[in-house]
Structure 1
Amino acid sequence: MRTRQLGSSDLHVSEISLGSWLTYGVGVEAEAARRCLDAAFDAGINFIDTANVYGGGAAESFLGEALADRPRDSYVLATKLFFPMSDTDKGLSRAQVLKQIDASLSRLKTTHVDLYQCHRYDFDTPLEETMEALTEVVRAGKARYIGFSEWPADRIKAAIEMAGVEKFVSSQPQYSLLHRDPEDEVIPLCAANGISQIVWSPLGQGVLTGKYKPGEAPPEGSRAKSDEMGGYIKGLMTPAILQAVQDLKPLAEEAGLSLTQFALAWVLREPNVASAIIGASRPEQVHENAAASDAKVDPELFARAEKIVGEARAK
């Protein structure tokens, strides 16, 4: 497993990281989740990503228990805040930043997180207030670095230009062969300002594994079949996209990879990407995904893949 530096920080994170959205504490039972976590460490993954809102705190609580016996300096831990934890607890106000970091640390059973991220932009709170509160958190030793997820480019730029506050080192966008929006503004802006990408949904909610086939019902046990985990995948389950993914399989085979590994390697081809977050319900998924870190792929194969998917997205 290779590592990459996270932006301008001194953190080095594994190219494949383990996430907990829709899975741990929610859609995957605890023992299976522990096996996946163990598999991640066995595969050399050192970066674990979560958020306070995942399972209403359940994902953080699971990780707090599951990581308790591991040396704190043996992994990089990231969490987030923004989405509602109650009718009144939401957003990025100073009061919420200070309240939610303490609540997250309590559930995670740790004194600090390595990365504290704004899960979305809060248009109801002045940016200065948010940045000053995040700076308080870092200077209190409760977080080592700060990041954001899915912020508009103009708000990223405004934060970069603000004086006297901690600087962001990471951005967490959705990015995959099926979703390339960050390439337009976010990646160039971040690359020029010491901010790396930590990519969520690099497999398009599992569509890029190729397990969903056009004209067929989703397999039993898959995310698309799950009421708890399948709500976000429906927009990608069109016949054109599903057929395009099947058409990628010969390219993956030519590269000597599974389709899953090929899709992850495509994300990692971008130098500004520090890590691709995977979600897993079985240890074997973790090991297969982790192997993408060692993949060497002819850029011409990636170009052909981009053409296939681009034509399908245009239909």
Structure 2
Amino acid sequence: MDYRQLGASGLKVPALSFGAGTFGGQGPLFSAWGDTRVEEARRLIDICLEAGVTLFDTADVYSNGASEETLGEALQGRRDEALISTKIGLPMGDGPLDAGNSRLRLVRGVEAALKRLRTDRIDLLQLHAFDAFTPVEETLSALDDLVRAGKILYVGASNFSGWHLMKSLAAADRHGWPRYIVHQAYYSLVGRDYEWELMPLGLDQGVGAMVWSPLGWGRLTGKIRRGQPLPKVSRLHETADIGPPVDDELLYGVVDILDEIAAETGRTIPQIAINWLLQRPTVSSVIIGARNEGQLRDNLGAVGWSLSAEQIARLDAASAVTPAYPYYPYWRNAGFSAVNPPPVTIPAEAA
């Protein structure tokens, strides 16, 4: 397993991390993801640790805390072999104090997560969303107190816009509070918006990326193809309306190239899609999920080899779309890109 620095920090994380969103299986959304119980969770964690996957990511909102509880119980006796990442900030109830990143919510939420996870510390705490109602100074000051108390070790963000993240980093620098070292963001061959602003920001500010849904909300498994119905077992049956939207023709064009490269390399489509991500700027770790041992072992096969430059170029071309303003001039116009080049190139025919 390749280990990488997580942003501008001393923390090294595996190139692949494990997402425990399938643990617990409560509620309409998360039961569609999976319903892994403790015994099976232990087996999946065994496989991860054997492969060098030491970072496990969850959130308080996953199955209303049941994911954290399952992960915490499954890690008993080997807590120090693992890094635990969890997220906080999305609603955990209907009350006025059940959501957001206020001091009260963070302190209460961290204490509750520590109990569910059966641990004395959270290695990485990420804010699950930007809270527009709470001053960033209040949030960062509370995180600073929790770091000083040893209850969390590193802090990050998830699903922030560029200005959300930059405003938070500037406030942290101004007051000497902990900086976000990671941004957990959606990024895939059928969802490259991350490249437009968040990737340049990450390069400039030393913020690494933990990538969620690297297979495009289950679209890049090899089971979804042009002219064919959705497979009988697919999260898209129940959750497509809340997942990242994808144009059908873009998806089918990407899958066509993935099929070609699978034939050339003997690798599976998910392995190729994940390997492509691992070669992108700022990506520190790609979060893989699995409902069962077979899916996990297949995803683990995404490391230990590399796509060729020519294969990457074909995937780049198939997956490219024209960015929205104000980003597209820098991708299409030589004058703009001469003074502010994008971190990755876009093929001329897709511009």
The residue number in structure 1 matching 2:209 is 197
The residue number in structure 2 matching 1:103 is 112
The residue number in structure 1 matching 2:20 is 20
Q: Tell me the alpha carbon deviations over residues 290-311 of structure 1, each in whole angstroms, 9 at most, x when there is no partner.
A: 1212121112211111222337
| Contact persistence 1:17–1:278 (CA under 8 A) | yes
In structure 1, stretches of 5+ residues that fail to align are: none
Matched, 1:285 2:292: no
Paired residues for 1:154-173 under 5 Å = 154-162=163-171, 163=174, 164-173=176-185
The residue number in structure 2 matching 1:264 is 274
Q: Size of the alignment, in residue pairs?
A: 310
In structure 2, stretches of 5+ residues that fail to align are: 26-33, 324-349
1:222 offset after TM fit, Å? Answer: 2.9
2:87 to 61, 73, 80: 80
Matched, 1:295 2:305: yes
| Contact persistence 2:156–2:180 (CA under 8 A) | yes
TM-score (norm 1): 0.92
| Contact persistence 1:213–1:243 (CA under 8 A) | no
1:140 to 140, 149, 157: 149
**Separation in structure 1 between the aligned mates of residue 126 and residue 61 of structure 2, nearest angstrom:** 12
**Separation in structure 1 between the aligned mates of residue 240 and residue 3 of structure 2, nearest angstrom:** 31
Name the % identity.
39
Aligned-partner SS, 1:208: coil
The residue number in structure 1 matching 2:3 is 3
1:261 offset after TM fit, Å? Answer: 1.0
| Contact persistence 1:50–1:79 (CA under 8 A) | yes
1:98 offset after TM fit, Å? Answer: 0.5
1:5 offset after TM fit, Å? Answer: 1.0
The residue number in structure 2 matching 1:67 is 75
1:152 offset after TM fit, Å? Answer: 1.5
Q: Tell me the alpha carbon deviations over residues 68-91 of structure 1, each in whole angstroms, 9 at most, x when there is no partner.
A: 121x22111100111111112100
User: Residues 36 and 263 from structure 1, CA distance in 2 versus in 1: closer, same or farther, beyond 3 angstroms?
Assistant: same
TM-score (norm 2): 0.83
Counterpart amino acid of residue 24 in structure 2: G
User: Residues 199 and 213 from structure 1, CA distance in 2 versus in 1: closer, same or farther, beyond 3 angstroms?
Assistant: same
Indicate the larger mover: 26-35 or 177-186: 26-35
| Contact persistence 1:32–1:281 (CA under 8 A) | no
Q: Which has the higher contact order (CA 8 A, sep 6+)?
A: 1
The residue number in structure 2 matching 1:125 is 134
Aligned-partner SS, 2:219: helix
User: Residues 237 and 189 from structure 1, CA distance in 2 versus in 1: closer, same or farther, beyond 3 angstroms?
Assistant: closer
Q: Give the greater-gyration-radius structure (CA).
A: 2
Indicate the larger mover: 77-86 or 151-160: 151-160
1:234 offset after TM fit, Å? Answer: 8.0
Aligned-partner SS, 1:235: coil
Q: Tell me the alpha carbon deviations over residues 239-265 of structure 1, each in whole angstroms, 9 at most, x when there is no partner.
A: 552353134211233244221111001
| Contact persistence 1:15–1:276 (CA under 8 A) | yes
